Amino acid sequence: MLNILEQIQKPKSFDAFINENMKTSTYKVGWNEEMDVEYEASKTYAAGTAEYAAAMLGTVISEGAPRPKRDMPSIGELSGTIARIGDEWQIPNDRLERYYYMLNRLRDKAKNLTETQKKSQYQNLVKYLFNPYELAAIAPHRRILAQYWEGLSDGQVTVAKTNNEGGIIWSTPLSNGITKKLLPKGSVVWKAENIATIDVLATLQYLEELADSKGKAVLKFRVSKATAALISNSTQLKNLIGMNLGRLKTDTTPMLAIDTVNSYLSALQRPTIEVINDRGTLNTGSSVNMFKDGRIVAQCADKVAVLKVSDPLETLDPVPNKVYTSYFDNLISQWRNDNGRYVAYEMFAYPVFTGKNEVFILDVTTADV
């Protein structure tokens, strides 16, 4: 019976151990569905995006006249430093002792087990040992996804003591240049107490008109789970959308699913609503909602950001006695010394909103004055 800890000290075995087990992990990268990757060797980015107010109409000129020469439309530039995300921890001795106990017990019982039983119990052993490596593989990707959702829903990214204990702290949030608006003056703000008077359709219409004024067409609206609940429970939509319950047709319904709301919006030829329900766990153990509550985001393109990525120094200059592998550009390492076994990860990456003009954020918790 192979000792997994011994096997994964070999680079190829370590790579297979991480990448094969991550295929069945319940943790998903997530950001790869929202962004493509662009590599930046300098660890800084300068992403220029053309800021067209609308698709330009060609200039009509006379047949023999020269073409008019103009300056290009203005270019907006986002520039910054790619963030370093990393951590390391010692694998607890009691976990290692438990692993060896399970391994020795399996070896003792092996002669009395069928091949299927041995494979099943060996997989349990692999799963138990894999846990700290699994966390190292996924941790930076969860942070990247959190930064993306915060940037998309609030136009800025924060790194504060509350969400990055033990790491660097940014003195102020980093703005990404996405337009963020408040509800029009006199609007009813969105909160549970105002559920009877919230005007969902007017709010969505306002965002569509805002996008239209910039020459954009809204593909979809995105909201958090809490904001979706306000939409589904709004008196306006419950009164507008009846439900067929077998042979009984109700004029109103006490509860709406977001799918029902979207069917209604589709019938009106309006963009539909996507609910973002990603939550993240901080190193303190507390849980946070990645997509900000009280926001409706109108998105006018399928992808509005790219992930700028650079390689850690150890990729090019590895440390002796360490074993390395990579998972979606996250450099994972392990080593052993007199004090125990360690696992670490390091990744340089930051979501850059190159499509910032394709996103419109509406803060529905506050009305303009």
Cβ contact 88:343 at 8 Å: yes
CB neighbour list of residue 21: distance below 8 Å, 6 or more residues apart: 126, 127, 130, 133, 134
pLDDT of the residue at 149: 98
Q: Work out the angle at residue 298's Cα, subtended by the Cα atoms of residues 296 and 302, and round it to the nearest 5 degrees.
A: 130
Decide: helix, strand or coil at residue 334.
strand
Instruction: Provide the pLDDT for residue 277.
Output: 94
How many Cβ atoms sit within 10 Å of the Cβ of residue 314? 14
Residues making up the chain, counted from first to last: 369
Distance CA 91, CA 87 (A): 13
> What was the pLDDT predicted at 119?
84
Under the phi-then-psi rule, with left for phi > 0, alpha for psi from -120 to 50, and beta for the rest, what region is 30?
left
Please report the pLDDT score of residue 121 as a whole number: 86
Q: What is the pLDDT of residue 53?
A: 45
Cβ–Cβ < 8 Å for 352, 157: no
Q: Return phi, psi of residue 85, to 5°.
A: -120, 125
Is residue 355 within 8 A of residue 214, CB to CB? The reply is no
Q: Using the Cα atoms of residue 102, residue 108, residue 113 and residue 114 in order, give the sign of their dihedral.
A: positive
Average pLDDT, 10 consecutive residues per value, the chain (369 residues):
88 96 94 96 78 64 83 66 92 92 87 82 90 94 96 94 88 90 96 96 97 95 97 93 55 75 94 95 86 97 95 94 96 94 95 93 95
Distance separating alpha carbons of residues 77 and 75, to the nearest angstrom: 6
**CA gap 183, 198 in Å, rounded:** 11
Provide the pLDDT for residue 166.
Answer: 85
The residue type of 288 is V
Measure the CA–CA gap between 357 and 361, rounded to whole angstroms.
11
Report pTM. Answer: 0.89
Q: How far apart are alpha carbons 304 and 352 in whole angstroms?
A: 9
